[in-house]
C-alpha cells in the first residue's frame, strides 16, 4: 500500500495504471467501509481509498471537531486489506484549485437532510467533484445508507457527463440492526440499545405500511420513537427509491428515511 499526501505525486502514480476504483471516506473506518473496499478490490482496477474529513459539509463547527478520527488505526486496517493506494490530503490540496466542472445540485438536495443541514450537500458535492478532478476514477463505490447523498452524486455525474461510474453497495448493519456509521463509536451501550430498538420498530412499521398506509401516522410514530429513547426527530418520510418521489399511499417500492438524535448524536438510516 502506497500512501500519498500530495495530489501531484498521486496523479503521477495513477497515470501509470489503467484506472482506479475509488472509495472516498472520512476515516473512522468500520464494517461498512470494509465492505465497500472489498467490492472495489474485485474490479480490474487499482483500489484507492481517501481519508479526508471535509469541513465544508458540516453545518456546525462542534460537529466537525467531534467527528471520530483515528488515522493510525485506519492505516493499519487498510494495510491488512491490501489496498493499492491511500490518499490523505490536506485542505489546500483539495481546495487550492478550481475544478473543471461546476457542481450540479438537484432540487432533491433541499429535502430530508438538506432541509435540516444547510449547505451540507453543497459541501459533499464540492469535495466529491474535486476528488473526481484529481483522481479521475473509473468507479466510485458508495453505500446506500447515505441514499440521498448517493442520488445527488449520481445526478451530478450524469448532468456533467463525467465518465466515472457509481457502484451502489448495500447498507452494512451491526448485529443489533443499526446501520454501520463512524458516529456509532460515540454511542454508549445504552444508546446503542436505543438505536437498535428504533431500527426494529421501523422495520416492523414498514411491513405494516406496505399492507395499510394508515399505519403511517407521523404524530404517533414520533411519540413512539421519543418513548424508545430518541431525543429529537429531524424527519421521517417515505420515498420511492427508484424515482425519489414522496409516497402518500400504499406502495411496495419505498424506504422509510429517518434522521434522529440520541442526546447530541445525529443518526440517519433508510429502511
Residues designated catalytic: 33
Which region holds residue 250: left if phi is over 0, alpha if psi is between -120 and 50, else beta? beta
Minimal CA–CA distance to 221: which of 268, 266, 260?
260
Residue with cell 495504471: 17
What's the burial of 216, exposed, middle or buried (CB within 10 Å: 0-12/13-18/19+)?
A: buried
Q: 71-103: buried (b, 16+ CB within 10 Å) or exposed (e) per residue?
A: eeebbebbeebebbbbbbbeeebbbeeeeeeeb
CB contact at 8 A, 78 and 86: yes
Amino acid at each position: 500500500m502506497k500512501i500519498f499526501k500530495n495530489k501531484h505525486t498521486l496523479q503521477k502514480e495513477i497515470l501509470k495504471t489503467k484506472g482506479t476504483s475509488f472509495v472516498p471516506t472520512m476515516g473512522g473506518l468500520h464494517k461498512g467501509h470494509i465492505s465497500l473496499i472489498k467490492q472495489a478490490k474485485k474490479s480490474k482496477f487499482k483500489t484507492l481509498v481517501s481519508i479526508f474529513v471535509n469541513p465544508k459539509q458540516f453545518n456546525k463547527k462542534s460537529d466537525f471537531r467531534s467527528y471520530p478520527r483515528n488515522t493510525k488505526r485506519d492505516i493499519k486496517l487498510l494495510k491488512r486489506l491490501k489496498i493499492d493506494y491511500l490518499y490523505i490530503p490536506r485542505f489546500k490540496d483539495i481546495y487550492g484549485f478550481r475544478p473543471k466542472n461546476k457542481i450540479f445540485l438537484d432540487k432533491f438536495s433541499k429535502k430530508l437532510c438538506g432541509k435540516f443541514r444547510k449547505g451540507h450537500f453543497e459541501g459533499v458535492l464540492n469535495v466529491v467533484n474535486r476528488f473526481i478532478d484529481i483522481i479521475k476514477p473509473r468507479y466510485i463505490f458508495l453505500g446506500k445508507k447515505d441514499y440521498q447523498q448517493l442520488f445527488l452524486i449520481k445526478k451530478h455525474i450524469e448532468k456533467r457527463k463525467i465518465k466515472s461510474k457509481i457502484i451502489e453497495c448495500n447498507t452494512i448493519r451491526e448485529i443489533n440492526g443499526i446501520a454501520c456509521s463512524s458516529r456509532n463509536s460515540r454511542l454508549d451501550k445504552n444508546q446503542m440499545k436505543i438505536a437498535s430498538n428504533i431500527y426494529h420498530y421501523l422495520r416492523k412499521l414498514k411491513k405494516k405500511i406496505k399492507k395499510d398506509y394508515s399505519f403511517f401516522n407521523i404524530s404517533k410514530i414520533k411519540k413512539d420513537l421519543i418513548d424508545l429513547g430518541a431525543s429529537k426527530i429531524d424527519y421521517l418520510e417515505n420515498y420511492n427509491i427508484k424515482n425519489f418521489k414522496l409516497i402518500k399511499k400504499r406502495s411496495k417500492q419505498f424506504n422509510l428515511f429517518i434522521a434522529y438524535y440520541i442526546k447530541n448524536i445525529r443518526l440517519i438510516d433508510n429502511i
